[in-house]
């Protein structure tokens, strides 16, 4: 087996793979920015959608990584319509709309 890196074009990635790469890059850039910023702390990360493109195993792995960030005293906000996230994520702010306006519920 060769130890050479295999090149894989971004054009060949699935939607879920692109989302995971984007998530990894965001986390890496955040860590790099903090380490080179002279004391600036980035305490929150918000992710808007993308989870719908993941299979169940990849969804669980992505959430596990995000929970590890939360465990380091950072806030992670996820904006999504993926129902499975409600079962996986311990805390949730749900927004619902009715004829009188929007309502928030915290679980």
The stretch 40-65 carries a mean pLDDT of 84
Report angle CA 94, 29, 69 to the nearest 5 degrees. Answer: 45
23 has pLDDT over 70: yes
The mean per-residue pLDDT over the stretch 36-55 comes to 81
- Region of 42 on the Ramachandran plot (φ > 0 left; ψ -120 to 50 alpha; else beta): beta
Mean pLDDT check: name the lowest of 4-8, 10-14, 68-72, 89-93.
68-72
Helix, strand or coil for residue 64? helix
pTM for this structure?
Answer: 0.66
The residues, ordered by sequence, that sit 6+ positions from 76 with a Cβ below 8 Å of its Cβ are: 44, 45, 46, 47, 66, 67, 69, 70
How high is the pLDDT of residue 42? 76
Q: What is the pLDDT of residue 2?
A: 58
Q: Looking at residue 71, what is its pLDDT?
A: 62
């Amino acid at each position: 087996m060769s130890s050479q890196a295999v090149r894989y074009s971004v054009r060949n990635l699935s939607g879920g793979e692109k989302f995971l790469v984007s998530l990894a890059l965001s986390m890496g850039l955040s860590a790099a920015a903090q380490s080179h910023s002279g004391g600036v702390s980035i305490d929150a990360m918000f992710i808007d959608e993308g989870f719908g493109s993941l299979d169940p195993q990849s969804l669980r792995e992505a959430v596990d990584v995000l929970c590890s960030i939360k465990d380091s005293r950072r806030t992670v906000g996820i904006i999504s319509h993926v129902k499975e996230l409600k079962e996986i994520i311990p805390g949730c702010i749900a927004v619902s709309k009715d004829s009188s306006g929007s309502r928030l519920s915290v679980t």
